[in-house]
Amino acid sequence: MKLGIFTDDFYPFVGGIGRHIYDLYYTNPKLDCIVFSPSQINLKNHIPISPLWHKKLKNISSSFFFNKKAEELIKKYKLTKINIHCGPGGLFLWKKLSVPVIATCHHTYWQQSHYIKSEFWKRIFIPFEKKTYQLADKIICVSDDSKNILVNKYGILPEKIKVIPNAVDTKSFHPMAHTQKIPNSILFVGRLDKRKGIDFLVKSMPYIIKKNPNLKLFIGGKGKLRKPLEKFIKRNNIESNIKFLGFIPEEKLNEWYNKVEAVVVPSIFEGFGITVIEAMAAGTPVIGRNVDGIRSILPQEYLFSNISDLITALQKINFLSPLIINDYTKNEIQKKIADQY
């Protein structure tokens, strides 16, 4: 079997799709595959493609390229199966191909357009996304929440869908026995944008600090909200409680997970909360928002829905236990994905 993987996001990662593919496919020597992406990099079994107007149209231009060139590439590289990676930032399938197609759903345009008011306009992509999953022979969803959207909103047959979560490499993320915890510390890791919920977390801090004046929030990441958040922090005189770390390199991330008492994931929604399982693998308690992509990973007592819930959760961070990650380890997930082919 020769598998062709088609994606708009690969390496270096733009988002979770690229990371998923690199971690779970490209590091699996048993999988006979070729990755096709617009990334102009020289890696074994990677074929760079050059969609027209890609700088402006991004995944839309890659979708045009894929649908136009798929049969030609199937023949040229003797592909026997296709795996396309879908969701916002992913590809669309517009016609049935001569080989079976497995579509990986990372999250959906329905979630993107309904949960984030400013992205309401992305509803225009829902019919194309629905058609993609109708045409696919099999679908892999990275969470039960996304599967529920496909079944209940798109009318996709549930027996066509297999839920296989994202994975964490426990060689990279693990407890560090001799790392000193920073007292009363919490960590946020992610893009500084509305979807990741960093504005909610920072704007909750004045209320949280009233209950715990010594609490320190470390923010790892970069994005367009940094300057507005810095103004809010200064205006509310909470500079001593919040520190921006900037982008945390991969080799430093595990250390930061180990240095804090808890990790907070306040996203409006996630396809799958990769930060959640990284922190779990590091042996650090995680408090997450009760939304798609997070609630399917964390037990109820680790979830919050509003500021009051968040304050309550943070008051007991010293009593929260680290969670077991057996269902999300890299080797286990690789086996489950390989079984689908």
pLDDT-based confidence at 205, cuts 50/70/90?
Answer: very high
| Global pTM value | 0.90
- % of the chain surpassing 90 pLDDT: 77
Categorize the per-residue pLDDT at 260 as very low, low, confident or very high, splitting at 50, 70 and 90: very high
pLDDT in tens, 300-330: 989 999 999 999 888 887 777 888 888 888 8
Cβ atoms 84, 7 nearer than 8 A: yes
Query: Does the structure show a pLDDT above 80 at 84?
Result: yes
Q: Among 3.40.50.2000, 2.60.120.470, 3.90.480.20, 1.10.580.10, name the CATH number for the domain at 185-324.
A: 3.40.50.2000
Q: Report yes or no: 264 and 201 within 8 Å, Cβ to Cβ.
A: yes
Single-letter amino acid code for the residue at 55? K
- 266-281 pLDDT per residue, tens: 999 999 999 999 999 9
Matching fold, domains 3-167+330-339 and 185-324: yes
Asked if 185 contacts 261 with a C-beta cutoff of 8 angstroms, the reply is yes
| pLDDT for the residue 285 | 94
Q: How confident is the model at residue 23 (pLDDT cuts 50, 70, 90)?
A: confident
CATH number of 3-167+330-339: 3.40.50.2000
CA nearest neighbour of 102 among 33, 30, 41: 33
Convert the pLDDT of each residue in 286-301 to its tens digit.
Answer: 999 999 999 999 999 8
pLDDT band of 85, cuts 50, 70, 90: very high
pLDDT at 75 over 90: yes
Interatomic CA distance for residues 13 and 18, integer angstroms: 5
**Sequence spans of domains, the chain:** 3-167+330-339, 185-324
